Chains A and B, each alone.
Chain A
Amino acid sequence: MRYALKIAIRYLTANTAQTALLVTGVAVGVFIFIFMSALIGGLAEFILSRTVGDLSHITIEAEDRDPAVLIDAPGHVLAAIERGNTRTATLADAETWLPLIEGVPGVRAVSPQITGAGFLTRGAQVAQVSVTGVVPGRESAILDLQGYIVEGTALTGSGLIVLGRDLADDLALSLGQTVRLQSSGGITALLTLSGVFETGNGAMDGARAFVSLSVARTLFAMPQGVTRIEIKLDDLNAADATAQRIRALTGLDAVPWTDGAEQLMEALNAQAQTGYVLKTFALITIVIGVASALMLSTFRRRPEIGIMRAMGAGRGFVVFVFVTQGALIGLLGGITGAALGYLALLPFPSREAFEPGTLPMDITQGSYGLAIALTVIGAILASILPARAASRVDPVTAIGQ
């Protein structure tokens, strides 16, 4: 079929202007395909980093044991032990699991925490807070606390507390001032404000307090273990698989961020579907363009096809000539469009540097290979109809034209 390839190339080079126009049309379609892939992919990345980026990608929490119930034979409850108001559930063996979890591929950071509720009191001001005890030095392992600090530092330590902007304002607290924190178990600690953060999230800025793990142990009377382990991954899309791996490795109930994020996932899926529709239209445009151009070429070259058939060229040979033309147009247009798409995406900031207000184009999600492959396949499919028409040309009537 080398000879059929030569004829296909000759036909394409015989009319360079028409071929260039056709390849340009295909390249534009591929360019749109790549642009859309980079935009939709970048947008999803941007949304995820903004919504999930500061969250734990996988969370392991201690579960309270179900209260014991004593039931007699007919099903009457004889006695029940109700849940107490103090925290009892702990991940007592956390220290054992941490190195194992840290060794799981794709795990970027692990943050053991003790969490609970409490009250901050300063003078007559009282505020309910959600307390998180973290390992000093790992305050920014999950939430980029240091990045949100507007005053002081994110570092926790003995006798220190870091509060949200709104909470600090409500209590009229300034850096270096002290505040009384009483846990839900009634234990009190006097802490000094070392840092103020502002995330822009009202729930966080108005009701969250960070202390060191040792302070939290005292407050919640938990001499060992933790209540929660938060895990950050290199790739948040790998949360489901990694959580499954951690569950298998440790037996702990590792929950990926995707559990309970159905609405976000639906929104992202809808966005991806929109991208697929637009990319499909781009491909359809390519297919129609190639098919119509080759159909015209078939019509124009009917006498030549007739001569070839008379000289002993089989129908398969003629089909191959036209399908090869389609494939070459697809390949040339695909490579040109992919190259142009890549060049057009170069000026956009990388995914790590997305800024609000700019198009979050992700050059790594251009689907260049896929775009070229789909274009070649589409162009081949588009050329089948003209090729079949060419192979059915009656040499007698064609030569007589």
Chain B
Amino acid sequence: MSTLLETRDLVKTYGTGEAATRVLRGLSLRLEAGEMAALLGPSGAGKSTLLTILGTLMKPTSGQYEMLGQDMIAADDRALTEFRNAHIGFVFQFHNLLPDFTALENVIFPAAVRAGRETPAARKRGRVLLERMGLAERIDFPTANLSGGQKQRVAVARALMNAPDLVLADEPTGNLDRASAMQVMDLIGEINREEGTTFLISTHDEKIAARCRRQVGVRDGIVTEEPHLA
């Protein structure tokens, strides 16, 4: 496997002076392409901050971050936006779909924003992804009419739309019942195995973490353990 991303000595401090809070304290991490890793740790350990930095939505206070051989710290906003669109997918805890759009329109958003229009190819892939998520009957439904589990599966489909190298999932099942959570994890595992997409999943749930081949522990802003499960 080749290295997908690597961070070295990441430091992130919020605020200044006496109010300064150091969330990441020199965090180093390497992810190989095709991995499916769980990010474990207590609340406030820095999991979400790490995902945000890895997702190029925020820059660290100091440290180095490279993905696909590119320096993510030196890149400007425009370059990061284009990189994010092409190589990174997101799944949030609260699905974060666009409420005024249908399931299909939400899924193809990353492709449409890149092409400047909704291409037939994007529509076709969007349908395939939604069918794979078990939402064939909900393709043209407004997202407001979907259940929580269905919305989260739409969010997974959207994250996969541009065939990204990395999908960052922040508590993707935290807001779902057990059955829906397992359904979403099954789909993620399937995509990981079949398409080789790298997943980094932040979770408190050890059963969810156990579904991942690698577990990364974060405590007090640093990686404390990397137990590999069989």
Q: Which residues of A contact B (CB under 8 A)?
A: 1-4, 6, 10-11, 14, 303-304, 306-315, 317, 395-396, 399
The 6 A-B pairs with the shortest beta carbon distances in the complex, nearest first, are A312-B85, A14-B100, A2-B117, A311-B110, A313-B113, A3-B112
A-B contact pairs, 14 of them (CB 8 A): A1-B116, A3-B116, A3-B118, A303-B96, A306-B96, A307-B98, A308-B98, A309-B81, A310-B55, A310-B90, A311-B110, A312-B82, A312-B114, A315-B81
Q: Nearest Cβ distance between residue B130 and chain A, in whole angstroms?
A: 16
One of B57, B98, B110 near A396 (C-beta < 8 A): B57
What residues of A have a CB within 8 angstroms of the CB of B112 in the complex?
3
Any chain A CB within 8 A of the CB of B58? yes
A396 to B113 alpha-carbon distance, docked (Å): 19
Any chain A CB within 8 A of the CB of B211? no
What residues of A have a CB within 8 angstroms of the CB of B115 in the complex?
3
0/1 per residue, B181-208, Cβ < 8 Å to A? Answer: 0000000000000000000000000000
User: Knowing that A4-B116, A312-B85 are A-B contacts, what are 14 other residue pairs whose CB atoms are under 8 Å apart, sorted by A's residue number?
Assistant: A1-B116, A2-B116, A3-B112, A3-B116, A6-B118, A14-B100, A308-B113, A310-B57, A311-B109, A311-B113, A311-B158, A312-B81, A314-B82, A399-B96
A311 and B52: CB pair below 8 A? no
What residues of A have a CB within 8 angstroms of the CB of B118 in the complex?
3, 6
What residues of B have a CB within 8 angstroms of the CB of A317 in the complex?
113
Any chain A CB within 8 A of the CB of B78? yes
0/1 per residue, B123-138, Cβ < 8 Å to A? Answer: 0000000000000000
0/1 per residue, B47-67, Cβ < 8 Å to A? Answer: 000001001011000000000
Q: Nearest Cβ distance between residue B87 and chain A, in whole angstroms?
A: 10
B101 and A10: CB pair below 8 A? yes
Which B78-121 residues have C-beta < 8 A from chain A? 78, 81-82, 84-86, 90, 92, 96-101, 109-110, 112-118
One of A3, A304, A311, A314 near B117 (C-beta < 8 A): A3
One of B77, B84, B99, B101 near A310 (C-beta < 8 A): B84
Q: Which residue of chain B lies nearest to A13 when distances are taken between CB atoms in the complex?
A: B100
Q: Which residues of B contact A (CB under 8 A)?
A: 52, 55, 57-58, 77-78, 81-82, 84-86, 90, 92, 96-101, 109-110, 112-118, 158, 162
Q: How many A-B residue pairs have CB under 8 A?
A: 62
B58 and A3: CB pair below 8 A? no
What residues of B have a CB within 8 angstroms of the CB of A11 in the complex?
100
What residues of A have a CB within 8 angstroms of the CB of B92 in the complex?
399
A308, A311, A313 pick with most chain B CB within 10 angstroms? A311
* Given A307-B96, A307-B98, A399-B92, residue A312 in contact with residue B117 (CB < 8 A): no
A312 and B86: CB pair below 8 A? yes
Q: Nearest Cβ distance between residue A324 and chain B, in whole angstroms?
A: 13
Q: Which residue of chain B lies nearest to A303 when distances are taken between CB atoms in the complex?
A: B96
A396 to B100 alpha-carbon distance, docked (Å): 21
Q: Which residue of chain A lies nearest to B142 when distances are taken between CB atoms in the complex?
A: A14
Q: Which residue of chain B lies nearest to A315 when distances are taken between CB atoms in the complex?
A: B77
A313 to B162 alpha-carbon distance, docked (Å): 13
A395 to B56 alpha-carbon distance, docked (Å): 11
What residues of B have a CB within 8 angstroms of the CB of A309 in the complex?
57, 81
Q: Which residue of chain B lies nearest to A313 when distances are taken between CB atoms in the complex?
A: B113
What residues of A have a CB within 8 angstroms of the CB of B90 in the complex?
310-311
A313 to B82 alpha-carbon distance, docked (Å): 8
What residues of A have a CB within 8 angstroms of the CB of B116 in the complex?
1-4
A11 to B115 alpha-carbon distance, docked (Å): 20
What residues of A have a CB within 8 angstroms of the CB of B98 in the complex?
304, 307-308
A2 to B110 alpha-carbon distance, docked (Å): 14
* Given A307-B98, A314-B78, residue A3 in contact with residue B84 (CB < 8 A): no
What residues of B have a CB within 8 angstroms of the CB of A311 in the complex?
84-85, 90, 109-110, 113, 158
A396 and B52: CB pair below 8 A? yes
A3 and B100: CB pair below 8 A? no
Q: Nearest Cβ distance between residue A328 and chain B, in whole angstroms?
A: 15
What residues of A have a CB within 8 angstroms of the CB of B85 in the complex?
311-313
What residues of B have a CB within 8 angstroms of the CB of A396 in the complex?
52, 57-58
A312 and B84: CB pair below 8 A? yes
What residues of B have a CB within 8 angstroms of the CB of A306 in the complex?
96
What residues of B have a CB within 8 angstroms of the CB of A4 in the complex?
116
A9 to B158 alpha-carbon distance, docked (Å): 22
A10 and B113: CB pair below 8 A? no
* Given A2-B117, A304-B99, A312-B86, residue A395 in contact with residue B110 (CB < 8 A): no
A312 to B85 alpha-carbon distance, docked (Å): 4
A7 to B78 alpha-carbon distance, docked (Å): 21
Q: Nearest Cβ distance between residue A254 and chain B, in whole angstroms?
A: 61
A308 and B109: CB pair below 8 A? yes
What residues of A have a CB within 8 angstroms of the CB of B114 in the complex?
312
A3 to B117 alpha-carbon distance, docked (Å): 5
Q: Nearest Cβ distance between residue A67 and chain B, in whole angstroms?
A: 83
Q: Nearest Cβ distance between residue A214 and chain B, in whole angstroms?
A: 81
Q: Which residue of chain A lies nearest to B118 when distances are taken between CB atoms in the complex?
A: A3
A338 to B158 alpha-carbon distance, docked (Å): 43
B81 and A313: CB pair below 8 A? yes
Q: Which residue of chain A lies nearest to B87 when distances are taken between CB atoms in the complex?
A: A312
A313 to B57 alpha-carbon distance, docked (Å): 12
Q: Nearest Cβ distance between residue A91 and chain B, in whole angstroms?
A: 72
What residues of B have a CB within 8 angstroms of the CB of A399 in the complex?
92, 96
Q: Which residue of chain A lies nearest to B84 when distances are taken between CB atoms in the complex?
A: A312
What residues of A have a CB within 8 angstroms of the CB of B82 in the complex?
312, 314
What residues of B have a CB within 8 angstroms of the CB of A2 in the complex?
116-117
B112, B118, B158 pick with most chain A CB within 10 angstroms? B112
Q: Which residue of chain A lies nearest to B58 when distances are taken between CB atoms in the complex?
A: A396
One of B78, B97, B99, B113 near A3 (C-beta < 8 A): B113
